[in-house]
Structure 1
Amino acid sequence: MEKASITLTDAHHKLLHAAVEAGEYASISEAIRDALRGWELERQMQQAELEHLRREIRKGIDDIEAGRVVQWDPEAMKQRLRAKFAK
């Protein structure tokens, strides 16, 4: 395991110290490692979401290039909905 020296704000230090005092963690180092694991998981989830969005954008571009899209006419849609709900 590698050692690193970091500088914390007073508020962050107090937060970490309180978590240790409450028995949530055995040490400040343990609390920081847990926070880093959470940060790493969040980054992985963001990366997965970004990849999903890229795939969806690619699908949309592929649909446009293949001619599988139609021009959307919001006014025509409103008219169809009004006619449907007027019955």
Structure 2
Amino acid sequence: MPDIQKISVAVTGDQLSAMRDAVATGDYATTSEIVREAVRDWQLKRAQRQDELACLRQAWNEGKESGGRALFDVEEVLVRAQARRDLSDFG
């Protein structure tokens, strides 16, 4: 069994009421179970954000290292982006 540590967490009255309702309806066994699930979800989202940031940093660094820069028309970039978005709406 994992090492369980106790902490104190402050929640709003509405949040506590929702948690107690979830326990009362049998969706969860305890409010602690709800908090553990919330923490697991947070851990997953945080890991995903860190992975996405690492990918962005890598792409940024690769772009900087490539050295090549070219002038571009901002309006043309926006038109192409809009066209791609419109196509993806139908795909």
Whether 1:15 and 2:21 are equivalent positions in the alignment is: no
Total equivalences in the alignment: 74
Aligned to 1:42: 45
Partner of 2:55: 52
Q: Which runs of 5+ in 1 are unaligned?
A: 78-87
TM-score, normalization: structure 1?
A: 0.73
One-letter code aligned to 2:63: G
1:35-74 C-alpha deviation (Å, 9 max, x unpaired): 110011110011011001001101110112xxx3433256
Identity of aligned residues (%): 32
Highest RCO, 1 vs 2 (Cα 8 Å, sep ≥ 6): 1
Q: Does 1:32 align with 2:35?
A: yes
Residue 76 to residue 19, structure 1, CA distance change in 2 (3 Å):
closer
Residue equivalent to 2:71: 71
